[in-house]
């Protein structure tokens, strides 16, 4: 009698876990309809997985595409892609220790981002962010010569503590 022994598929498991992460964060209101979570490729550190442009609550394992660290799709896409995918690629490129990135536009945080005042921890659990939370803006990136240089320099210096 032969026994059906299935071999675990790490990519299928990764896609499933990533879909679940997107759905939970979307359902719980942690990320908005434009938010997304990516994962460094489990077998190739020079790639990452990110879903097609879709509301996180609707993401399914089949929605994920592979990107290189320049945020170019490995296979020609037939679906819309997130424009912000370069944020993921630059963080993975600058920080080999990072295995997942979550990008979103948190309405509760936005006022602090535009106030011009530093965001500082006010109780012990906030200490993990450091003495002052960094603020990266599109203007910061555009003011630095060269494509993506501002984003790269912030990611390398550890100023982006989203990891």
Active site residues: 84
The DSSP 8-state label assigned to residue 119 in this structure reads B
* Both structure tokens of 32: 């908005």
Q: How far from chain centre, in Å, is Cα 39?
A: 7
Please say whether the beta carbons of 55 and 26 come within 8 A: yes
Rounded to the nearest 10 degrees, the angle between the axes of helix 149-157 and helix 85-94 is 50
Cα–Cα distance, 26 to 93 (Å, whole number): 26
Closest-CA residue to 14 (of 43, 56, 42, 45) = 42
């Amino acid at each position: 009698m032969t026994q059906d022994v299935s071999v675990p598929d790490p990519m299928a498991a990764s896609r499933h876990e990533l879909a679940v992460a997107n759905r939970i964060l979307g359902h719980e209101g942690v990320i908005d309809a434009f938010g997304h979570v990516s994962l460094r490729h489990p077998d190739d550190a020079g790639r990452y997985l990110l879903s097609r442009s879709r509301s996180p609550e609707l993401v399914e394992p089949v929605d994920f595409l592979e990107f290189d660290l320049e945020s170019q799709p490995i296979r020609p896409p037939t679906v819309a892609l997130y424009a912000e995918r370069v944020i993921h690629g630059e963080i993975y490129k600058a920080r080999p220790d990072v295995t997942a990135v979550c990008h979103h536009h948190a309405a509760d945080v936005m006022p602090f981002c535009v106030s011009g005042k530093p965001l500082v921890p006010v109780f012990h659990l906030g200490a993990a962010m450091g003495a002052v939370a960094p603020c990266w803006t599109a203007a910061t990136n555009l003011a630095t010569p060269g494509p993506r240089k501002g984003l790269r320099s912030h990611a390398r210096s550890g100023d982006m503590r989203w990891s």
